[in-house]
Chains A and B, each alone.
Chain A
Amino acid sequence: QKEVEQNSGPLSVPEGAIASLNCTYSDRGSQSFFWYRQYSGKSPELIMFIYSNGDKEDGRFTAQLNKASQYVSLLIRDSQPSDSATYLCAVASGAGSYQLTFGKGTKLSVIP
């Protein structure tokens, strides 16, 4: 069974700090990795995706992938109170690599 593990949190960081969110996955055949942000009462919103080992940066967000360790992370620099949300890690695997398996999410709280 494919599993995606995340610390449920809550993870509390002060405003302006770096928030580090981690995710591990069980299926070595996984191809694509996604981070979604979900505000309370809202649907998931895509932040970033990453396919290749290494880092991928987009503004204040950096996704890091290590396929050998089956580990993917999301760094949020200069954290803002508006970043307070649940962050969902999703992994695509299976035929055509289109089926997403979601972790349970990490709740992030940025303290002003």
Chain B
Amino acid sequence: SAVISQKPSRDICQRGTSLTIQCQVDSQVTMMFWYRQQPGQSLTLIATANQGSEATYESGFVIDKFPISRPNLTFSTLTVSNMSPEDSSIYLCSVKTDWEGGTQYFGPGTRLLVL
């Protein structure tokens, strides 16, 4: 499996501000993903981050609100822009390994509260 870390682990932010979440993997992986898990809900895919190309966003998520960077094969960032209380959620990065049949492993998550 892959070892994944995220920073920050949690944050409390004011509405209208932005927060950048970092995701670091201990090995090179082709595909990284960003998910959101709202309180009491399951996981919703925000976007797929591929190194060397633009991120691919799912329906309901746009680049202006959730810009993503993927500068190399072990690192990605997700920015939550112009935050509102509705953005309060857990944000998770995951990686799809190039072995083990493409299984996805998740980072520990970033717990965001927007006031």
Residues on A lying within 8 angstroms of B by beta carbon are 32, 34, 36, 42-46, 49, 51, 88, 90, 92, 97-105
Question: Are A43 and B108 in contact (CB-based, < 8 A)?
Answer: yes
Q: Report the Cα distance A104→B42, complex, angstroms.
A: 5
Q: Tell me whether B112 is interfacial, beta carbon within 8 Å.
A: no
Assuming the A-B contacts A43-B109, A44-B43, A105-B42, are A100 and B104 also in contact, with contact meaning beta carbons closer than 8 angstroms in the complex?
yes
| Cα-based distance from A98 to B102 in the complex (angstroms) | 7
Whether B92 lies near A46 (C-beta < 8 A) is: no
Asked if B101 and A100 sit within 8 Å, CB to CB, the answer is no
Judge if B19 is at the interface, Cβ distance under 8 Å: no
Q: Check if A104 sits within 8 Å of B101, measured CB to CB.
A: no
**In the complex the two chains form, what is the Cα distance from A104 to B41 in whole Å?**
6
Most buried by A among B1, B33, B106: B106
Cβ of B17 within 8 Å of any chain A Cβ, yes or no, is no
**Number of B residues with CB within 8 Å of any CB on chain A:** 21
Residues of A within 8 A of B41 (CB): 104
Whether the Cβ atoms of B42 and A32 lie closer than 8 Å is: no
B105 within 8 Å of A (CB atoms): yes
CA distance A100 to B107 in the complex (A): 15
Q: Which of the listed residues B42, B44, B45 has the most CB atoms from chain A within 10 Å of its own CB?
A: B42
In the assembled complex, the Cα of A104 lies from the Cα of B102 at a distance in Å of 22
Some 27 contacts from A to B, beta carbons below 8 A apart, are A32-B101, A32-B102, A34-B103, A36-B106, A43-B90, A43-B92, A43-B106, A43-B107, A44-B43, A44-B92, A44-B106, A46-B1, A49-B101, A49-B103, A51-B101, A92-B102, A97-B102, A98-B48, A98-B102, A98-B104, A100-B33, A100-B43, A101-B45, A102-B43, A102-B44, A103-B42, A104-B42
